[in-house]
Structure 1
Amino acid sequence: MTRLLRPIIAFFIFAGHTAFTAPCQFESQGEGRVAAIVDARSVRLDDGREIRLAGIEPTATTKQALTSLLAGRDVTLRSTDDTPDRYGRQGALVFIDESDTSVQAMLLAQGDAIASAEITDKDCAATLMASEAQARRQKMGRWADPSAIKNPESPDDILAGIGRFMVVEGKVLSVRQAGATTYLNFGRNWTRGFAVTISKRALPAFESAGISPKSLENRRIRVRGWIEGTTGPRIDVRLLGQVELLGANEPTGVRP
């Protein structure tokens, strides 16, 4: 890791850590046997509980990979909270038998899922991001497709994915504030170009980390989130982990 990156590693989730370490050992929220794969991110246990795999967004291959990994297996659930979501699903990291590696990390390392940045524990989040980075380096699964990481210089390509979770890499050309929203603009045309928006309520997370959005101007970043917008595509950043600072000469889609 370079001297430049050390001062900011506490503030951005970098994918240069070794995958498959075991920092995601939160409190156990029970055990069970997987009775059914409900969808690409949810399973049902034999006691009737429906479990949503926290920390990932699915791809076209996630459900098949999840079936191969979990069908009929005994699992342990770990999380900081077992409160069900509004659909009655319990969010958790899922571990097979006595494994120290979460199923989420396995899916990410195979290129069968995308890290969502919803896990806010720094060490656990870094491990999940490292697993994804491993797949990107090896061009596995989703990352074998060059279009898996979007280029902000082609905003129409990004806009075509409205309503989908995407990863975009590029240079922030300007940072502007309009009312309660900060815009990281990747294009000269603010109306049609790709932009990242940071609402006023999300700024304290940046400020408490000692990061000014203005400091991202002319820096290359990788950002992930749901594509919104009408004339121009947007990603609304609610969590600091949605943003990764990239080295000036780093190849697109790859961590050194």
Structure 2
Amino acid sequence: MKPVRPTTEDYVRVAMITLACGLLTAAGVSPGNAAGCAFEPQGEGRVRTVIDARSFRLEDGREVRLAGIEPAATEKSNDSAALAAIIGGREVSLRGEDDTPDRYGRQIAFVYLAPSEMPVQGQLLAQGEALAAGDVTDKDCAAVLATAEASAREARKGFWADPAAIKNAESPGDILTGIGRFTVVEGRVLSVRQAGATTYLNFGRNWTRDFAVTIPRRMLAPFEAAGIVLKSLENRRIRVRGFIEAQRGPRIDVLRVGQIELVGGK
């Protein structure tokens, strides 16, 4: 039998990191299997204080921020209760690709409680208390986080219990209420246009009012490497995540391939 060559659609589906959650679930991989986030050890310690929804301080003074997630964009987005319930006063181990502190002096890491193989990030996602940031470049780890988030979304847990958790791309006014917050928006791409160094995924005809996704030129190579032809997203339904900006209409700037996922087959 002659082998069938993968189509562009096949590449898009495989490359969308968050879509991998459906493939993993179908293959029998559960949120509890976190082998994909087994990075190098970065130390350990006891949690002294939970600072906010995704950061805490150890007894030795180190401040740690959870990698790969963002707080859910709700009135309780800065609520530290969920994180405190998991790690408050506990011994934790840290893992990551790099232990260089961020500009605020925080260590960015995946955090574990022994003997669990699921990072704390996965637990928060599975409870609907956080959103996958879409910025994890390790595909296996990104898929683990996406699977955990999908389980909460399908069960309508936590943040996902709100019918308006995912913003409608056809409601720019509603999206604009979340300026500066990490938000998930879903809709059908009306057109894909290039203007200077930016590619626009337009969800409406009025560019001064409607929602759009902006993709800088430096991201074209990563999308191409992932087998994704941006023009092929035209007339496709996608889910995009990122921080809402107001540039006439509401915008999300895509800086990682994992910020975009194809929804369904069409």
How much identity, in percent, do the aligned residues show?
62
Q: Does 1:8 align with 2:20?
A: no
Q: Does 1:127 align with 2:140?
A: no
Q: Which residue of 2 aligns with 1:20?
A: 32
Q: Which residue of 2 aligns with 1:143?
A: 160
In structure 2, what residue type is equivalent to 1:149? Answer: I
User: Of 152, 156, 172, which residue of structure 1 is paired with 2:189?
Assistant: 172
Deviations 1:185-237 (A, max 9, x none): 01121221100000111111111122121110011100000001242000000
What is the Cα deviation at residue 9 of structure 1? Answer: 4.2
Deviations 1:10-43 (A, max 9, x none): 4111121232212111001011111110122111
Q: TM-score, normalised by structure 2?
A: 0.89
Q: TM-score, normalised by structure 1?
A: 0.93
> How far apart are the structure 1 equivalents of 2:47 and 2:213?
39
Per residue, is there more helix in 1 or in 2?
2
- Contact 2:183-2:243 at 8 Å conserved across structures: yes
Structure 1 residues 183 and 6, CA gap change in structure 2 (3 angstroms): closer
Q: Which residue of 1 aligns with 2:62?
A: 49
Deviations 1:126-149 (A, max 9, x none): 110111110000000000001110
> How far apart are the structure 2 equivalents of 1:174 and 1:8?
17
Q: Which residue of 2 aligns with 1:216?
A: 233
In structure 2, what residue type is equivalent to 1:132? Answer: E
Q: Which residue of 1 aligns with 2:51?
A: 38
> How far apart are the structure 1 equivalents of 2:139 and 2:71?
22
| Length, aligned pairs only | 247
- Contact 2:13-2:262 at 8 Å conserved across structures: no
Q: Which blocks of at least 5 consecutive residues in structure 1 are unaligned?
A: 250-256
User: Of 224, 236, 243, which residue of structure 1 is paired with 2:260?
Assistant: 243
Q: Which residue of 1 aligns with 2:86?
A: 69
Q: Which blocks of at least 5 consecutive residues in structure 2 are unaligned?
A: 1-5, 25-29
> How far apart are the structure 2 equivalents of 1:25 and 1:180?
37
Deviations 1:53-96 (A, max 9, x none): 01111132651100100111111101010000111100000001
Q: Which residue of 2 aligns with 1:252?
A: none
Q: Does 1:99 align with 2:116?
A: yes
User: Of 106, 112, 126, which residue of structure 1 is paired with 2:129?
Assistant: 112
